[in-house]
Structure 1
Amino acid sequence: MKRFAYILLIGISAIISCTDSPGIHYPRYSTFPNEKGISARVIELDTALFRYPFRVAVKDSMAIVMDLHNADYYFHAFTYPDWKHIVSFGKRGEGPEEMLSVETFQFNSPDTIYALDANKMQISRWAVSAEKRLATRQNVIQLDKNLVRPLDFYATDSCFFIPDYLGEYRYWQIDYRGKPIKSIGKIPSEKDFTQENHPALAQAWRSFIDYNPHNGILAMATQLGESIEIYNTKENTHTVLYGPNGEPQFKSVKGEGIPTGIMGFSDIKVTNERIYTVFQGVKFRDKLASYQRGEKPEDGGRYIYVFDLQGNPLQKYILDKPIYGIDINEKTKTIIATCVESDEPIMEFKL
């Protein structure tokens, strides 16, 4: 549980030959009209399973937790709300039925749980039976090699949304055979990068995404810096917001892109009326200073930022625990969150 890991920035190439692009300046938010401190209630589990619980999702009477750095299985299913273990699945390994990696997952229903294996370039669909305490893999979609190594996705009824990691576009629509249908947008940097540095720019702008099919809102939040994008797919609009820390910042050191700004967002969720994000805002120089003092810097975000669907800031929640992944239930005003800093890693917050 105490293991520390950076989740991106592996093999990122240098970001060089860039200049400020005149005429491109996106709106900034600086404050929130409402701020409130909220405290965590620790969820007591009936078994100890996790090493790095990164994502959580709840549907009706089932909850699924993704363990990023697990020893054996990437996913653990529980009953909800009593949190009794049902089954673990997504075995780590190199075999045909095993997974080399998992970046994230999407829980639509007990028989439709999608998981992204970036190393195998696959999206697999799983089904979980609470009665039989069994998980089975239903089918596997092999992704087109032109997508390089996708790190996030969203499955709609007709296609997948997957960010573009070559820097030519912002995201792709991919069919259920894993083939590209359409490319959309571009990275909204205020700087002008040369063509050869687009892949490095795409890695720097690695973003977490979520989509709400009821209102057609696709939202993206950068893991570095403080940038949010809102695509209204029904009205064909694109809104870009910068926070006080702006876009991801890097310097070039011996051909490597080294972050010089902050760790930004770690999760994003789009509901029918709002956009919820988990924000860290910790400077990399402060993390380095902690290591130099022989200390381990805190891992996770202590803020939840809430925006409306147009990007207007509404609420800032200040947490008493650092968290990574969230699940939102606006009807019960409940947030379920994962905390990698605690031996009791599942938390509940009341809004």
Structure 2
Amino acid sequence: MHRSILIASVFFISVFLGCSPKSGSSDEIIYLSEEDLPDPIQLTGKKYEIEEITNPRGLLLIDDFILVYEQKNIYDNKFHVIDKKSGNFLRSKGKDGMGPGEITVISQIEEAKESGKVWAYDPEIRKFSKYDLRDSSLLAEEEFRSPETSFFLTELTWTKNQSLFGGAVDGMTKYLHLTREGDTLHLMGNWRDHVKSWGLPNGYQPEDLDANLISSIFQGPIKSSPNGEMVVKAGMSVDYIDIINLDGYHTKTIIGPSPELQHFDIGYSMNYQMPDFGMNSTLRYLDVYSGEKTFFVLFFGKPYRELSNPDNLNRVFEFDYEGNILNQYQLDMPVYGIAVDEENKVIYGVTVDREPNLVRFEY
């Protein structure tokens, strides 16, 4: 692998930007090609038959539970609590609505750092909702909304000391680290510097692209490690992974296995530039799991319309936090989201086949 110098379903939260130190575009790029990948380890999935799961989008492992959350078209019962040991369905949570304790859609669930409790994020009404997994109520027990200001974050994740970290969309700053109240802890990176590492189509130059267009190109899943000190962000339309160390705010960027930007044209929506990738665009990294010492990314590499196509199924790449590729796992079922039980060596996923459900792969 070659090394040189460098300095991402989206959901939004508006936050207050205070004065804080700002890091520039530094750190490291790691180029990864198909030839750099280890030989694939073939994994055979064991699918669950939990009838309450209808149209799953993602999942979380916490304590003795597996949580599976549903796509937007599901009303009540937004996510399901499953006993990890037995595989039995326990209960569903989440009442549809915009009233107290209600939620309209879940884009991500993360641990609340309290036993048996999680935060679910609703991007439509910009609200975090805390749920107790052990009670039978559909309603959240606590919730808070983001401050109403003019700045927006994407792909937000909880980090150390119950702070938040995410990518910005309406300015050239890439990432912001902030408190739950919206006070800025740190600003990181520059979108225009970031895009300079890529060849642009149609003869576009970095100065031709607005910040929201660049950030849209590089949108994707983001997850923090269990101790909240490391953050991993991957591209859904671009083959890149940012590994962000919040202790010192250093970034390593993995580019690959394809080093090329997909072709896009500049389109406009409500007078804002937006990338138009066309009908033949492919999805790249669909999900991320950040573990104690390593992290896992779910790679797709096909058009969205081929999500359930049995040919060229998902692969999972495992890296350490230095950016070294450790393992490549070939799945035998199409999945849309993953979570990993590192202690018991199990990768869980949610399938996108004719009968979507939870699946487990022992590795």
Mapping of residues 189-338 of structure 1, within 5 Å: 189=195, 190-191=197-198, 193-194=206-207, 197-214=210-227, 216-246=229-259, 248-252=261-265, 254-255=267-268, 256-259=274-277, 261-283=281-303, 287=305, 302-338=314-350
- Percentage identity across aligned positions? 17
Question: Is structure 2 residue 54 aligned with structure 1 residue 51?
Answer: yes
User: Which residue in the other structure is 1:176 paired with?
Assistant: 180
Deviation per residue, 1:75-99 (Å, 9 max, x gap) = 1112222233322222222333322
By how many angstroms is 1:241 displaced?
1.1
CA distance, structure 2, for counterparts of residue 301 and residue 233 of structure 1? 34
| 1:148 Cα deviation from its structure 2 partner | 2.9
Separation in structure 1 between the aligned mates of residue 228 and residue 137 of structure 2, nearest angstrom: 34
Aligned to 2:77: 73
Aligned length: 320
Q: Equivalents in 2 of 1:273, 1:281: separation in Å?
A: 26
Match of 1:114 in 2: 119
Question: 2: CA distance between counterparts of 1:216 and 1:29?
Answer: 24
Instruction: Give the aligned CA root-mean-square deviation in angstroms.
Output: 3.0
Q: 1:133 to 1:101 in 2, by over 3 A?
A: closer
2:144 corresponds to which residue? 141
Match of 1:20 in 2: none
Deviations 1:147-176 (A, max 9, x none): 436343224324111221224222222212
Aligned pairs (5 A) from 1:83-94: 83-94=87-98
Q: In the alignment, is the contact (CA less than 8 A) between 1:269 and 1:328 conserved in 2?
A: yes
Instruction: Kindly provide the CA deviation profile for residues 242-263 of structure 1, in whole angstroms up to 9, marking residues without a partner as x.
Output: 1032365342265352225421
4+ runs deviating over 6 angstroms: none
Note the C-alpha offset of 1:347: 0.4
Q: Extract unaligned runs of 5+ from structure 2.
A: 1-8, 12-26, 199-204, 269-273
Change over 3 Å in CA distance of 1:101–1:298 after alignment to 2: farther
For 2:332, what is the secondary structure of its paired residue?
Answer: strand
In 1: Cα distance, 2:275 partner to 2:75 partner? 30
2:223 maps to a residue whose letter is D
Q: Provide the C-alpha distance between the structure 2 equivalents of 1:96 and 1:314, rounded to a whole number of angstroms.
A: 45
Q: Does 1:40 align with 2:45?
A: yes
Distance 1:253 1:184 in 2: 26
* TM-score where L is the length of structure 1: 0.81
Paired with 2:242 and 2:176, the residues of 1 have a C-alpha distance of: 15
Closer, same or farther: CA 124–194 of 1 in aligned 2, 3 Å: farther
The 10-residue stretch of structure 1 (244-253 or 32-41) with the greater mean CA deviation from structure 2: 244-253
Q: What is the CA distance between 1:182 and its match in structure 2?
A: 2.8
| Partner Cα distance (1:96, 1:124) in 2 | 10
For 1:340, the equivalent position in structure 2 comes to: 352
Gaps of 5+ in 1: 1-6, 10-23
1: CA distance, partners of 2:45 / 2:263: 34
The Cα shift of 1:348 comes to 0.5
